Amino acid sequence: MKFCKFTRVSLLVGAVLAATVTISASPALAQDAKLIGRYGDWEAYTRGGKDDRFCYIVSKPKEASLRSRRGDIFLLVWHRPAKKEFDVVQVDAGYSFKEKTEVELKVGSDEWKLFTRDGNAWTYRGDDDASIVEAMRKGSRLTVKGTSSRNNPTTDSYSLKGVTAAHRAMNKACGRS
């Protein structure tokens, strides 16, 4: 499988983010992250200074398959202005995905395939990220279907209540209109 430059950067940043983001009773409390606000079922955060600012919105699923056998499950959308990366969609499944499988992400009737690596999934193309975020802002529910390394299928369902307000707050915090 061939990845574009953007995807390789997403892998690197995703791995770093996954290593630093800890999910507790409140989603996405990173080491130096500052809560911008809570918006419905979404929270917006920022971290870093002017030159290395990183902003993201995050939510946990309302419903999740095999929840008791998994680690932290969440969905992120993030900006990294210094690298001109905006609206990157990242799924953290709480388990390692089965090798050479894809994740299905669906909002309404719109559907995307994401590639997997360890416990994370990302889009193949940056244009897909923008389409997903647009659909999220218009939709009410998002589902993620994947397969664990133990061959167990999972379906996670996220509420999109508050995602538009959280996205606006993230854009403002990262200087994006």
Q: CATH code at 155?
A: 2.60.40.1880
> For 57-103, what is each residue's pLDDT tens digit?
999 999 999 988 899 999 999 999 999 999 999 999 999 999 999 99
Total domain count for the chain? 1
Domain that holds residue 113: 5-173
Output the pTM of the full model.
0.83
pLDDT tens digits for the chain (177 residues)?
444 434 434 444 444 444 334 333 334 444 689 999 999 999 999 999 888 899 999 999 999 999 888 999 999 999 999 999 999 999 999 999 999 999 999 999 999 999 999 999 999 998 999 999 999 999 999 999 999 999 999 999 999 999 999 999 999 999 886
**DSSP code, position 65:** T
